[in-house]
Structure 1
Amino acid sequence: MLDEDEQVTFDEDFVFYGAPENPAGTVRLLTDGPAEQTIAVDLAALPPSSRKVAVAAAIDGEGTFGDVGAVQVTAVPGTGAAPLAGATLDAATTERTLLLAEFYRRGPVWRFRAVGQGYDHGLADLARGYGVDIAD
């Protein structure tokens, strides 16, 4: 969850496999849902200071998204609902982290966009880029 400066307000708002839910429960990483990985976001319950929810993925170890192949991103307004938007991200090569999509506020309305921007660094550098304090 990011503020208007695209930084986390609190480190606990950086949701990942080691911390699969933010304290308010408005953003959750689910690994037992209908897809391999699901990010559940309660947009209506996010505080007004939250301007964006960035959805990214990272590969641990030496693998890259070029090794993984195509990544499917789908926005669905609830369990069992029809998708509102989707994208196939399949141009990765050496990237170890990939910004998949963003939910962002435009005025009072939340919008969704697929991004597909990749980086060669790992999860820790991605987190630091959003202002998360990572202990080495």
Structure 2
Amino acid sequence: MFEADAASAALGIRVEHALDGAASARMTVTDTMVNGHGIAHGGYIFLFADTAFACACNTYGPVTVAAGAEITFVTSARLGDELTAVAEERTRYGRNGIYDVTVYRETPEGREVVAEFRGRSRTIAEVQPRES
């Protein structure tokens, strides 16, 4: 799934781990991700967390998509920040799941949380790729 994800690839997102309902990814905040306030646009942080969520909930095989998600921005990310997103499954029931993703950066003082994301997944029938 991730190998065909052009949106995540365009942002330079790198998946480091994806197995058994968990995933981790990294992304560097680039100049095209910074808004008019000089901080990372929240939409990019959401997309980054959503990518880690997607990788975690698709580790079991069947096609799984987001049924909903929410994010809480804890602090701002800035140009050049190297962010990590860690996704962890909280529960699966039937075709549904709940996953939490923490987005953070390492600082000299330690880990600083940038955002907390909660995603709700739904396993669906196999999706056929669109023809060009």
Normalization by structure 1: what TM-score?
A: 0.38
Q: Which has the higher helix share?
A: 2
Q: Which has the higher strand share?
A: 2
